[in-house]
Amino acid sequence: MLRVCVCVSGGGTNLQAVMDAVDAGTITNAQIVRVISNNKGAFALERARGRGIDAVSVSPKDYGDREQFNEALLRCVDDAEPDLIVLAGFLVVLPPMMIRKYEGRIINIHPALIPSFCGKGYYGLKVHEAVLSRGVKITGATVHFVDEGTDTGPIILQKAVEVLPDDTPEVLQRRVMEQAEWVILPQAVNMIANGLL
């Protein structure tokens, strides 16, 4: 059974998609052992607790400097003894120490088709704002392994989504989530849990 630790910062709809897929049996051989948020108020934590999953926050505000926060975050991850770490809207730059320790065992969901609209400054709604202002007609989402760059690790899955003429960033974000993110993130977890990668 693959032990999965999910890191979140906000609403947690991608976490929800993974939890639902575990319950529905479309993800097999995996269990979510811990959900970690850098944000105490993240609704994602409530979603996890509602399912009886261990949900904890590690906030930079509680530590004197970044080094101490990084150490606390890594300790919190280590304590869960994960086989896989899923970044599901986790808006924290991971400590390099953590990336090295869990090399090949951290995946991230990004709300665009990498290598477009990715890298520093491209997260959440900002990605969809940039897509609309550039006028591209196709966007989507990507699941990739995490390396020490920003959105540069090997790509696991991608799914394209159409941009429609009257889209606002919010409307487009929702369509990308529904049609791409909530599909490919659970799919990638299932592939890893079943040795299909």
What is the Cα–Cα distance from 44 to 56, expressed in whole angstroms? 10
109 lies in the site for ligand GAR, by CB under 6 A: yes
Catalytic: 110?
yes
Helix (H, G, I), strand (E, B) or coil at 57: strand
Please name which of 29, 32, 28, 26 lies closest in space to residue 48, comparing C-alpha atoms: 32
Site string for ligand GAR, 157-186 (x = CB under 6 A): --------------------x---x-----
Q: Evaluate the CA torsion angle 41, 47, 50, 51 in order and state its sign.
A: negative
Determine which one of 110, 111, 127, 181 is catalytic: 110
124 lies in the site for ligand GAR, by CB under 6 A: yes
* Region from 9-17, 61-69, 75-83, 157-165 binding ligand GAR, contact rule CB under 6 A: 9-17
Q: Where are the beta strands (DSSP E) in the chain?
A: 2-8, 30-37, 55-57, 84-87, 106-110, 138-145, 155-162
- Give the residue with the Cβ less far from ligand GAR, 34 or 110: 110
Task: Count residues near ligand GAR (CB under 6 A).
Answer: 17
63 lies in the site for ligand GAR, by CB under 6 A: no
Please name which of 10, 169, 195, 176 lies closest in space to residue 88, comparing C-alpha atoms: 10
- Least distance CB 20 / ligand GAR (angstroms): 12
10 lies in the site for ligand GAR, by CB under 6 A: yes
Please name which of 127, 143, 129 lies closest in space to residue 180, comparing C-alpha atoms: 143
- Give the residue with the Cβ less far from ligand GAR, 130 or 193: 130
14 lies in the site for ligand GAR, by CB under 6 A: yes
Residue nearest to ligand GAR (CB): 89
Six-digit token pair at 55?
A: 């949900």
- Least distance CB 132 / ligand GAR (angstroms): 15
4 lies in the site for ligand GAR, by CB under 6 A: no
Six-digit token pair at 162?
A: 């159409």
